[in-house]
Amino acid sequence: MRTEVLVVGGGGTGAGVAWDAALRGYDVVLVDRADLAEGTSGRFHGLLHSGGRYVVKDPVAAVECVEENAIMRRIVPDCIEDTGGLFVTTPDDDPAYGDRFLEGCRTANLPAEEIPVTEALRREPRLNPGIRRAFTVPDASIDVWKTVWSLARGASAHGARILTYHRVIDLHRDGDRVAGARVRNELTGEEFDIEAGFVLNASGAWAAQIAHMGGIEGVGVVPGKGIMIAMNHRLVNTVINRCTMPADGDILVPVRTVSVIGTTDMKAADPDEIPVTQEEVDQMLDDGERLVPGFREARALRVWAGVRPLFQDTKAGAVADTRDVSRTHAVVDHRERDGVDGLLTMSGGKLTTLRLMAQDLVDAMCAQLGDERPSRTAEEVPPGNEDGELYDIGSRLRRREDTLQEEQLICECELIGRGRLEETLRRRGSTNLDDIRRSLRLGMGPCQGGFCIYRATGILHGVGRLDGAEATESLRRFLQERWKGMWPILYGDQLRQARLDDWIFQGLLDVEHLPDGATPPAFAAPRGAHE
Amino acid sequence: MSRHDVIVVGIGLAGLTAAARLAQSGARVLVLAKGVGATHHSGATIDVLGYAPDRVEHPGEAVDALVSERPGHPYAAVGASGVAAALEWFQGQVAAGPLAPYAYSGGLEENLLLPTAVGAAKPTAAAPVTMTRGDLRDDAELCIVGLRGLKDFHATLAADNLARAGHRTRSVELDVTPPSGSRVDATPLAFARAFDDPGFRAEVAAQLVNRPTAAERLGFPAVLGIADPHAAWADLEHRCGRPVFEVPTLPPSVPGMRVFATLRDAVRRAGGKVILNAVVTGARATGGRIESLRAHIGLRETDFGAGWVVLATGGFAHGGLELSSRWTVRETALGLPVSGVPGPGEPRFRSDYLADQPMARAGVATDAELRPLDAGSQRVYDNVLVAGATLAGAEPWREKSGDGISLATGYRAAELIRPAPPAAAGPVHTGAEA
């Protein structure tokens, strides 16, 4: 396989890079070792930053957020809910920070306004009534899977090939130049080479590992682990931030049907080893209690950890507290740094600024190639966002009501009809129920797949995609995957739900005694056919 | 304050069994229950012991072996003989109940091996006669019949998995619409009501006759009638000209509703009273005896005087036990001590979903007479007996033992309170084969 540009990594940055480069007319191949947005991008809290989080501590990052927040609302409106945000001074916070916060917002050109506490409590009645100050900001929540798939589909429409479940196992060197990569199809085991004019390393927390394959050492990306918990229902309808220096458990984001609290920040030695600990869960629940009294009595659905790719100057030595590392991004220029052509690495950054990161990376490539092709991503709208309407929480229910009598409801929690499920199975060509979960939110509601996953397995099998052995394996894998995100936070009603699900899968269906499964074929449709 | 000989808290299989059996023995029985639940979630097969940990063929023997190995298991209070007595009583209730001649067949000698909706072969001691023709120990060819509008039963998937295990199986899907439901998305209950109608059964049989389904027996989702399931099943067999059997679907479970209807009717016929939407919130006790229970009913709190209390509120799945976000476990009605809870620093759950889960065995520990015990193995109350999934020491889903435990401990609780056999209980038949 040959391409002009090989993008390594299919998170927000990689998809953004593929979209940006494809729009500039480059021939693009994107590879990811797993599904799109399965790494860091799919494991964050869903906040489209206004920039308020950074105005005091990291003004450069704040300004980037202000600008990119506005652009993202324009180009991927269908992925964004305009929740608005509040910064609140809890009884544990210093009210004087609010003045520095407002000053920082003015400097960053961020439209923030102090409102009376009574007004904040009127808007968000569950908020801690002991808050002392409140400020409005244009925070929003963003559906990362929709965003990344929209960008990837846009790139595909411009000729890019998106290869999920393709792991880079080596970078090819041709003297002082990186000339491509050897990749392995993780589902079939097949290995092959991709010859590339240029390799763009957008693998986030894994960037140092990828660079290392090209013989480049010491790329300063520090994996910073953070955990998040999705709470059932929207405890708040506005993004709630603690008005203080960035700390743990200080953001509560309403995303679709849940609210997500985040996050912690711990340096991780290995981005693939990020277990959730009991202490972290307890800390997060206590932090939630500070924002919304009674938080601990609310129902926790799922917990997960992600790893931020924080940028670190290699010459500055070890970083103790990853929260002190800038949240802005940097292009690592391997020509300058290592005398190696044909490779650039993106380091640092955050989902809110993914478009800018992509633009900067492709700009740097154009500069090396001496190509004058300006980015168009600030204006072009990727697929699914053409009507320019921001997403609103009632839209899925509205669509569902329209087809109530004509379509079987497969997932009651997330209102997914059979037609939409079958269409997604077709379009994605995937046989992995976890991939389908990310595309549709199937099984992400309160019952965590207790009912819909049997149905989805039956449909996947019934439409001829999988035989019984493969369907069985697919079902078991999904059950294991959901359990991974549930067991550390099982208590209260969610434990009750989990036991009911056990009743169904073990007591009623006896899935554990089905004959052995077989590894499902990766894709039933031709590869790269994500139209 | 009203007074009752026995108050049974909970209306799953354990509570209903205790209440019916006590009422039949002449006790004045009141059932307080938050709502219906466990029966409606259950496939309504009586799973006594399916795995220990290998597949169990002779459940009676295996129960006794289990008890000698695990004295903390709920079966220790009843033994195989206690399970057998309860099962015989239960089969009698169904056979003499409002759905008769609908009946259960089976026993503790040998487990049946019944197909599940995903195509596994599940060992169970007894099942409605409408299900037993699916026994996979018989090698007759099967055809699993799907109904297009029923999303909780996937016939081709079940058939494919059965075939993989060596059972000759095919499948067919019918496009029939229950009159009271949506064509594309009808509930099991809507189908069950439709199957009560001979006209609907004729339509189903006609569609089947036109398909190349030469299989020797036909497996339907367990929706073959709710008002008169025996008639629906027998008529369908007649019309299709071959044996028919039901396979449980996802909840809500139609055969579970039949169990509920049968046993609630038994309670009422024997003079027992049932109050739903009643949440027991506490008790008044003196000298190790409960004097009265307090329950939230609607907006009011009401006290009920009780001579005896049978606690059958279920485990974590049905609200009898609750784990707080501070990681403490509470028995929700009376605040009884809970045993088997992993301590601080010990894992509550394991990361492998199908592994043995430490929290699964948590529950109320009892002595041999089902009286709750505290951490020092002292009786908490003399007149409280605990039955069903609230009991500590079992892993009902892994063992496939939940129905047997609920039935046998509910029955045993009643016997312990009223040992004398009833004179006024009316005729009780033993499990009639259909």
Give pLDDT tens digits for A9-35. 999 999 999 999 999 999 999 999 999
Residue A306 has pLDDT above 80, yes or no: yes
Range in A210-219, B100-109, B378-387 with the lowest mean pLDDT: A210-219
Between chains, do B118 and A405 touch, taking CB under 8 Å as contact? Answer: no
CB-nearest to A408 from B185, B251, B397 is B185
Could B152 and A512 be called an inter-chain contact, meaning their C-beta atoms sit closer than 8 Å? no
Amino acid of residue A257 = T
Query: At A323, is the pLDDT very low, low, confident or very high (cuts 50, 70, 90)?
Result: low
**C-alpha distance from A467 to closest chain B C-alpha (Å):** 7
Measured in degrees and rounded to the nearest 5, phi and psi for residue A306 equal -130, 165
% chain B with pLDDT above 70? 96
- Nearest CB among A480, A512, A514 relative to B161 is that of A514
In this prediction, residues B262-288 reach a mean pLDDT of 96
Q: Say whether B326 and A296 touch across the interface (CB within 8 A).
A: yes
pLDDT in tens, A183-197: 999 989 999 999 999
CA dihedral sign of residues B236, B105, B409, B413: positive
At residue B318, does pLDDT exceed 90? yes
Mutant choice from A411, A503, A511, A512 vs B, greatest count of B C-beta within 10 A: A503
pLDDT in tens, A117-151: 999 999 999 999 999 999 999 999 999 999 999 99
Per CB-CB distance under 8 Å, the chain B contacts of A287 are none
At which residue do the structure tokens 């990052």 appear?
A: A61
Query: What single-letter DSSP state applies at residue B360?
Result: G
CA dihedral in degrees (B222, B228, B233, B235; nearest 10)?
Answer: -150
CB A271 within 8 A of CB A223: yes
Does the pLDDT of residue A6 top 70, yes or no? yes
Nearest CA in chain A to B164: A515
Contact (CB<8Å) A469/B164: yes
A521 vs A163, more confident: A163
Contact call for B151 and A484, based on CB within 8 A: no
CB contact under 8 A, B116 and A509: yes
Q: What pLDDT does residue A425 have?
A: 87
Residue B316 has its nearest CB partner, among A459, A468, A495, at: A495
The pLDDT of residue A249 is: 86
Contact B160 A461 (CB under 8 A): yes
**SS3 (DSSP) at A240:** strand
User: What per-residue confidence (pLDDT) applies to A297?
Assistant: 92
The answer to whether the CB atoms of A509 and B120 lie below 8 A apart is yes
Residue A221 has pLDDT above 90, yes or no: no
**ipTM reported for the complex, 2 dp:** 0.94
Average pLDDT over residues A494-515: 94
For B38, name the nearest residue in chain A, comparing CA atoms only.
Answer: A500
Q: Average pLDDT over chain A, rounded to whole?
A: 91
Q: Which percentage of chain A shows pLDDT scores above 70?
A: 95
B142, burial (CB in 10 Å: exposed 0-12, middle 13-18, buried 19+) = buried
Q: Report chain A residues whose CB lies below 8 A from the CB of B324.
A: 491-492
A458 interface with B at CB cutoff 8 Å:
yes
- Whether A467 and B325 lie within 8 Å, measured CB to CB: no
For residue B360, how far is the Cα from the chain centroid? 18
Q: What is the pLDDT of residues A410-428, one digit of tens each?
A: 999 889 999 999 998 888 8
**Binary contact (B316, A297; C-beta < 8 A):** no
pLDDT at A490 over 70: yes
Which H or E element spans position A192?
A: strand A191-201
* Interchain pair B397, A515: CB under 8 A: no
Closest CA to B256 of B431, B405, B48, B403: B403
Work out the average pLDDT over A275-285: 91
Distance from the Cα of A468 to chain B's closest Cα (Å) equals: 5
Reduce the DSSP state of residue B247 to 3 states and report it.
strand
Chain A partners of B400 at a C-beta cutoff of 8 Å? Answer: 507, 510
B433: pLDDT strictly greater than 80? no
- Does residue A525 belong to the interface with chain B, where contact is any CB pair within 8 Å? no
- Among A468, A479, A512, the residue with its CB nearest the CB of B119 is A468
A 407-436: CB under 8 A from B: 407-410, 418
Are the Cβ atoms of A407 and B185 closer than 8 angstroms? yes
| Contact state of B323 with A490 under an 8 Å Cβ cutoff | yes
Residue of A nearest to B401 (CA): A507
Q: How far is B122 from chain A (nearest CA, A)?
A: 6
Q: What confidence category does residue B65 fall into, taking pLDDT thresholds of 50, 70 and 90?
A: very high
Question: A468 and B396: CB-CB below 8 Å?
Answer: no
Interface test with A, best of B157, B254, B327, B341 (most A CBs within 10 A): B157
Is the pLDDT at A319 greater than 80? The verdict is no
Considering the entire predicted model, what is its pTM? 0.92
* B188-233 confidence digits (pLDDT tens): 999 999 999 999 999 999 998 877 666 789 999 999 999 999 999 9
Say whether residue A503 is in contact with chain B using an 8 A CB cutoff.
Answer: yes
| DSSP string of A194-205, one letter each residue | EEEEEEEE--GG
Residue B35, SS3 per DSSP: coil
- Any residues with CB less than 8 A from the CB of A326 and at least 6 apart, and which? A58, A60, A61, A310, A311, A348
Tens-place pLDDT, residues A224-257 = 899 999 999 999 999 999 999 988 889 999 998 8
Mean pLDDT of B133-155: 95
Q: Is A277's Cβ below 8 Å from some Cβ in B?
A: no
CA A378 to each of CA A68, A202, A357, B118, B177: distance values in angstroms, whole numbers, following the listed order: 9, 19, 12, 49, 52
Identity of the amino acid at A388: G
- Is the distance from CB of A258 to CB of A301 less than 8 angstroms? yes
**Which range, of A378-387, A500-509, B210-219, B328-337, averages the lowest pLDDT?**
B210-219
Cα B431 to chain centroid distance, Å, stands at 17
Burial of B175 (0-12, 13-18, 19+ CB in 10 A): exposed
**Residue B337 exposed, middle or buried by CB count within 10 Å (0-12, 13-18, 19+):** middle
Is residue A54 pLDDT above 50, yes or no?
A: yes
CB pair distance less than 8 Å for B250 and A504: yes
CA distance, residue A307 to nearest chain B CA (Å): 20
Query: Looking at CA atoms only, how far is residue A64 from chain B in angstroms?
Result: 39
Confidence of residue B179 (pLDDT cuts 50, 70, 90): confident
Q: Do B323 and A491 touch (CB under 8 A)?
A: yes
Pairwise CB contact (< 8 Å): A458 & B43: no
Is it the case that residue A447 has pLDDT exceeding 90? Answer: no
Name the average pLDDT for chain B.
94
As a whole number of angstroms, the distance between CA B295 and CA B283 comes to 9
A467 pLDDT tier (thresholds 50, 70, 90) = confident
Measured between beta carbons, the chain B residues lying within 8 angstroms of A451 are 152, 250
In chain B, residues with a C-beta closer than 8 Å to the C-beta of A405 are 182-184
The torsion of the CA quartet A4, A7, A8, A11, rounded to 10 degrees, works out to -170
CB contact under 8 A, A454 and B118: yes
CB B167 within 8 A of CB B242: no
Which tokens go with B116?
A: 């599940």
Is the predicted pLDDT of residue A315 greater than 60, yes or no? Answer: no
Residue A223's pLDDT is 87
**Does the structure show a pLDDT above 80 at A320?**
no
pLDDT digits (tens, 9 = 90+) for B81-112: 999 999 999 999 999 999 999 999 999 999 99
Decide: A160 and A196 in contact? Cβ < 8 Å.
no
Contact B16, B263 (CB under 8 A): yes
